[in-house]
Amino acid sequence: MEQHYSFEGYEKANMARACGRDLPISMKHAMELCSMLKNKRLSDAKKILERVVKFKQAVPFKRFTNGLGHKPGMCAGAYPIKASTMILELLNSVESNAQQKGLHTGDLSIIHFRAQKGSRTMHPSRFRGRRMKVTHVEVVVREVAASEKKTEGKKETKKVKRQETKATVAPQTTPSIPHVPPSQSPTHSPQPKRGPQ
């Protein structure tokens, strides 16, 4: 069965894609994960998801923040274990698709990552009356060209140089100003009161 994608401009020569239909995960969790992992390297995205599953890194929630507490280094965050596991399997699938096409997996970058709401069917048996959480997730990766690698390397070196300059520059100390006692105001003799004329 042919899958339909919402991504336009797909190039078969240097791109690969995969989709997960009717995944039993929360759409809100999937959307937050997709927004965090988009425009990242495929290898880096897989490492992030592995850290999330092990409770070593939290996912920042920027849209669906109702009832979420703060996490170290961010405002609202959570550990969506089930969604991270499913999306990690999807990334492994798109990586195998890229290998089958002859693309270099170390140079793959995620250019499209989207989660959509699926058809919500009823729970069977004792959960009658409650609808299931179903989500469609699709991902498209592209092989990064050599020219783009050079620009990314220049950006990283600029960031490192800025951090080094900030660390080497010593804070400027303000010169100490000697304490000068306030000048005493001259005493004025009280003027005689004038009576009624």
Per-residue H/E/C for the chain: CCCCCCCCCCCCCCEEEEEEEEECCCHHHHHHHHHHHCCCEHHHHHHHHHHHHCCCCCEECCCCCCCCCEECCEEEEECCHHHHHHHHHHHHHHHHHHHHCCCCHHHEEEEEEEEEECCCCECCHHHCCCECCCEEEEEEEEECCHHHHHHHHHHHHHHHHHHHHHHHCCCCCCCCCCCCCCCCCCCCCCCCCCCCC
Q: What is the pLDDT of residues 83-100, one digit of tens each?
A: 999 999 999 999 999 999
Q: Is the pTM of this model over 0.95?
A: no
Average pLDDT of the residues in 63-73: 87
User: Nearest Cα to 71, choosing from 79, 81, 63?
Assistant: 79
Give the residue carrying structure tokens 């669906």. Answer: 64
Q: What is the pLDDT of residues 45-66, one digit of tens each?
A: 999 999 999 999 999 999 998 8
Fold of 18-152: Ribosomal Protein L22; Chain A (3.90.470)
Q: What is the pLDDT of residues 105-146, one digit of tens each?
A: 999 999 999 999 988 887 777 777 778 889 999 999 999 976
- Cβ atoms within 10 Å of 79's Cβ, excluding its own: 17
**pLDDT value for 181:** 63
**pLDDT value for 145:** 78
Q: What is the pLDDT of residues 171-185, one digit of tens each?
A: 566 656 666 666 555
Average pLDDT, the chain: 83
Q: Find residue 9's DSSP bridge partners.
A: none
Residue spans per domain, the chain: 18-152
